[in-house]
Chain A
Amino acid sequence: MRLVLQDLRTIGGYALREAVRRKVLLVVVVLTICFLALYAFGTYQAFKEVSRGDGGGISGVEEEVLTGSTLLGLAMFVTLFLGTVLAVFVTLNAVRGDAERGLLQPLVVRPVGRTTLLLARFLAAAAVCVIYVQIVYWSAVVLTNATGGYYPGHAIAGAVALAAAVTIIVAIALLGTTLLSSTANGIAIFMVFGAGLAAGLIGQIGTALNSDTLEQISSIATWALPFEALYQDGLHALTADIDGVTGVIVQLGPFGGSQDAGPLLYPFALVYLLAAGWLADRAFRRADL
Chain B
Amino acid sequence: MPDALLAAGLRKTYRAAVALAGVDLRVGEGELVGLLGPNGAGKSTLTKIAVGLVRPTAGAVTVLGHPAGSTAALARTGYLAELFRFPGWASADEVLALHQRLARSAGGARERAELLGLVGLAEAARKRVEAMSKGMQQRLGIAQALIGEPGLVLLDEPTSALDPAGRRTVRELLEELRGRGVAVLLNSHLLSEVELVCDRVVIVDHGRTIAVGTPHDLVSAGGVEIETAGGTQRFADAARGDVPALVARLVAEGEEIYGVRVVTGTLEDAYLKLVGKDAR
Contact = CB atoms under 8 A, between A and B. Distances in A.
Nearest to A100: B83
Contacts of A109: 51-53, 74, 77, 79
A10 B98 contact: yes
Given A3-B104, A10-B102, A101 B55 contact: no
B146 to A, nearest CB: 13
Nearest to B75: A111
A7 interface: yes
Nearest to B49: A288
Contacts of B71: 111, 113
Contacts of A103: 84-87
B101 interface: yes
B87 A289 contact: no
Contacts of A17: 89-90
Interface residues of A, number: 25
Interface in B259-275: none
A105 B74 contact: no
A112 B102 contact: yes
Nearest to A117: B102
Interface in A1-59: 3, 6-7, 10-11, 14, 17-18, 21-22
Given A10-B102, A14-B98, A289-B48, A106 B54 contact: no
A282 to B, nearest CB: 13
B188 interface: no
Contact of B74 (A3, A10, A21, A111): A111
Contacts of B75: 111
B257 interface: no
A254 interface: no
B212 interface: no
A18 B102 CA distance: 17
A151 to B, nearest CB: 42
B89 A21 contact: yes
Contacts of B54: 288-289
Given A7-B102, A14-B98, A111-B71, A106 B89 contact: no
Question: Is the contact region of chain A dominated by helix, strand, or loop, or is it mixed?
Answer: helix
B209 interface: no
Contact of B103 (A105, A110, A286, A288): A110
A106 B144 contact: yes
Nearest to A3: B104
A10 B120 CA distance: 27
A102 interface: yes
Contacts of B79: 105-106, 109
Nearest to A6: B101
Contacts of A105: 53, 79, 81, 84
Interface in B108-137: none
B99 interface: yes
Contact of A111 (B84, B89, B103): B103
Contacts of B51: 109
A103 B129 CA distance: 12
A98 to B, nearest CB: 9
A120 B205 CA distance: 40
Nearest to B77: A109
Nearest to B102: A110
A236 B72 CA distance: 52
A108 interface: yes
Contacts of B89: 17-18, 21-22
Contacts of B74: 109-111
A191 interface: no
A186 B180 CA distance: 48
B96 to A, nearest CB: 11
A160 interface: no
A62 to B, nearest CB: 52
Contacts of B86: 103, 106
Interface of B: 14, 48, 51-55, 71-72, 74-75, 77, 79, 81, 83-87, 89-90, 98-99, 101-104, 141, 144
| Among all A-B residue pairs, the 3 with the closest Cβ atoms | A21-B89, A110-B102, A111-B74
Given A105-B81, A108-B52, 5 more contacts: A10-B102, A108-B53, A109-B52, A288-B14, A288-B48
